[in-house]
Structure 1
Amino acid sequence: MNPMPKTSARLLSLLSLLQTRRDWPGALLAERLDVSPRTVRRDVDRLRELGYPITAVKGPDGGYRLAPGADLPPLLFDDDQAVALAIALHQAATTGADIAEAAARALATVRQVMPARLRHRVDALHVTAVEPPATRPRARADSAVLMAISAAVHAREILRFDYASGHEDDAPPRRTEPHHLLTWRGRWYLLAWDLDRHDWRTFRADRITPKIPTGPRFTPREPPTGDVATFIAARFRGSDPAGGTAEWPCQGEVILHQPAADVAPYLHDGVVEELGAGRCRLVLGSWSWHGLAAALGRFDADIEVVGPSSLREAFARLGDRYTRAAAFTK
């Protein structure tokens, strides 16, 4: 029996593992590959012969490290990595970056160098990227702008840019310390410290026109929450990021006269609890009490307000407003 296919597959697996972390103890590699430490040493030697710069790590356990280098041979993917790459390229149109055409060309290039068994799997993958309908087309962030922002973030260099906010057409360029390039619900944003406003700001990447060259280096700051995800969620929910929480500023609890199974599919981040007899307990948040009351009214069911009183008052005001609307005749 020819052992070459098994050996080749093992070499790809070894290379894949070496790319996922800085140092790998030899014993752990042997365990993950289900081979002996001696086989790992032989496989490492084979990869070195192919040009991969793998160095031995000294220490009690010993190990290996895949060093960076300009002479690294062409990338090799195992089956799972190749399929994952194809799926990611299929989904590129929904990322909010203007890279759909480039992703399609990259997928065609990757497909050409795949072995037949993988091409069949990729060709069988038919993905239709559908975005939610919007009142206006979603602006795409230019890939060159994303790269310029990312480079400034990585270098920790002050970034100046024109910002098309729609409110200040003749505004001077913004001067910022760029900290993170991030995505939120299909849009790209820059999280930065605004040097003129002395505060944290988020900027839509599709409205940014970077100025060249970048400014001097800066010392990174910590966002008020210490956690970028929490900070951004709080900003977009209208909460105070300095409070260290991403909870909605208005959160209430009600009892809906509707089964939990009918309510749960329409909740994004609420908590629903089945009470029986066609009733459920629901905890939900919103940016305002009126917004929360209106959101709860969409379930078309009787509502018992558990609290707080601000939610009860919002229901009363909306009730008066809706009554006048129903009685209005022209």
Structure 2
Amino acid sequence: MDRYERILSLHRILSSSRYPVTVARLQDELGCSRATVYRDVAFLRDGLMAPIVGDGESGIRYDTEDSGRFELPGLWLSSEELHALLAAQQLLSRSGGGVLSSALAPLQSRIEKLLSEHSSGDAWPVERVRVIPHRTRRLDEHVFRSVCSAVLGRKRLAFDYRARSTDEKTRRTVSPQRITHYRDNWYLDAWDHEREGLRSFSVDRIAQARGLDEAAIDVDESELDRHLGGGYGIFSGTPKGVATIVFSAKAARWVADEHWHSQQQGRYLADGRYELKVPYSAPRELLMDVLHYGSDAEITAPQSLREQARTLLSLALSKYEG
């Protein structure tokens, strides 16, 4: 355990202890010598102005009047926490298609500096963190920043939107509610003032975004979840049914560990196959995911969804005939 980690652990021990802590206990928990404990206590008290009272004989503790207000200054994390934080930063910057890189650059440089201090100047091997985007769509960085600013600043937003399904272009004025990252792409959940309802917008289809001075109206979180989070995936809404899909024993090894929906129900069948039940609203995304498994998946209910899958498979097969 290096000094940063010992100071952090010492602070946590003293913050959580109701009674004075002996030097012997600190030696055992910090895994260091008696002299090192005294040096760390002195640094915490004199260098970081921690409200330490007591001595090595009777034990030491934080002054009860000040302990609740004292926190370690700055970004004080263990090396493992710093490694995890920098790895998460790399994940965000790379999976975001570059739109987050500039915003997170100051944080990355600060974490790398702290890691360098931990590891005696050794460079952090960023290339060891690899993120491979999957079907990531191109984003306009200005639009992304405008959307995020409106969401966090609680201001209304006006923009042009070209729907992917119809290619129709419309002008929207919305009260942003939240920004959602789903399957490597970004979506805006918002209250559409002209349509007087909640809508989800794919951020890559937004253009000419402009923040307005008027305050956004706030929709209750429970209503957002009920309207936008109750169905399957990003094409959500109030669930209209529950789909039952049976996967082969081979596919079960993957599907049993996958998260499809917050209210999904799954069970192994006697022959090793896996039955998954998923609430859904619009069936399009659910059908795409099921057909992804090919012959290893079968929709058994409801019959209407089963017929839609049959139609899609027949159309696909017709492309290969003749």
| 8 Å Cα contact 1:264-1:272 kept in structure 2 | no
**Structure 2 counterpart of 1:288, from 256, 259, 283:** 283
Residue of structure 1 equivalent to 2:225:
227
Match in the other structure for 1:75: 75
1: CA distance, partners of 2:161 / 2:252: 40
Cα deviation per residue 1:232-265 (whole Å; 9 max; x = unaligned)? 4637454433x6xxxx8450254x6x42x44332
What is the match of residue 98 of structure 1? Answer: 99
Partner of 1:211: 210
* SS of 2:119 mapped into structure 1: helix
2:244 paired residue among 243, 252, 269: 252
What residue number does 1:88 align with? 88
Rate the CA distance shift 1:291–1:98 in 2: closer, same or farther, 3 A.
closer
What is the CA distance between 1:198 and its match in structure 2?
0.8
Q: TM-score, normalised by structure 2?
A: 0.62
Q: Deviations along 1:12-36, whole A, 9 cap, x unmatched?
A: 4467899xxxxx7663997xx8699
Q: Matched residues in 1 for 2:285 and 2:149: separation? A: 43
Letter in 2 for 1:162: F
Counterpart-to-counterpart distance in 2, 1:153 and 1:64: 33
* Cα deviation 1:81-139 (Å, max 9, x = unaligned): 2212321232221134513466578645643452262764832861222122x4xx611
SS at match of 1:65: coil
Task: Report the equivalent of 1:264.
Answer: 253
**Aligned-partner residue type, residue 65 of structure 1:** R
1:11 aligned residue (1, 7, 14): 7
Q: 1:183 to 1:29 in 2, by over 3 A?
A: farther
Whole-Å separation in 1 of the counterparts to 2:73 and 2:292: 61
Offset from partner CA, 1:278-297 (integer Å, 9 cap, x none):
x5242354643997599369
Kindly indicate whether the alpha-carbon contact (under 8 Å) linking 2:230 and 2:237 is maintained by their aligned counterparts in 1: no
**Equivalent residue, structure 1, for 2:147:** 149
Match of 2:68 in 1: 64
Among candidates 16, 19, 27, match of residue 18 of structure 2: 27
Is the 8 Å Cα contact of residues 253 and 306 (structure 1) preserved in structure 2?
yes
Q: CA 1:302–1:96 in 2, change beyond 3 Å: closer, same or farther?
A: closer
Match for 2:193: what amino acid? L
Does 2:133 align with 1:131?
yes
Q: 1:63 to 1:208 in 2, by over 3 A?
A: farther
Q: 2: CA distance between counterparts of 1:187 and 1:122?
A: 28
1:179 is paired with a residue whose SS is strand
Distance 1:112 1:25, change over 3 A: closer
Amino acid at match of 2:185: R
Structure 2: runs of 5+ lacking an equivalent:
31-36, 51-61
> Equivalences for 1:284-323 in 2 at 5 Å?
284-285=277-278, 287-288=282-283, 292=287, 295=290, 298-300=293-295, 307-310=301-304, 313=307
Q: State, as a whole percentage, how many aligned pairs show the same letter.
A: 18
Match for residue 270 of structure 2?
275
RMSD (Å), alpha carbons: 5.0
Aligned residue identity for 1:64: G
The answer to whether residue 241 in structure 2 is matched with residue 240 in structure 1 is no
Residue in structure 2 matched with residue 21 of structure 1 by the alignment: none
Report what 1:161 is aligned to: 158
CA contact (8 A) 1:162 1:208 kept: yes
SS in 1 for 2:220: coil
Q: Identify the structure with bigger relative contact order (alpha carbons < 8 Å, sequence gap 6+).
A: 2
Q: For 2:284 and 2:321, how far apart are their aligned partners in 1?
A: 25
| Cα gap change, 1:97 to 1:57, in 2 (>3 Å) | farther
Letter in 2 for 1:93: R
TM-score by length of 1: 0.61
Partner Cα distance (1:183, 1:232) in 2: 13
Displacement of 1:163 in angstroms is: 2.4
CA distance in 1, matches of 2:106, 2:88: 13
Contact kept? 1:89, 1:104, Cα under 8 Å: no
Q: Helix, strand or coil for the counterpart of 1:181?
A: strand
Runs of 5+ consecutive residues of structure 1 not aligned to the other structure? 19-23, 50-54
Paired residue total: 284
Other-structure match for 2:48: 47
SS state at 2:112 partner? helix
Distance, in Å, in 2 between the alignment partners of 1:127 and 1:147 is: 25
Instruction: Report how far residue 204 of structure 1 moved.
Output: 2.8
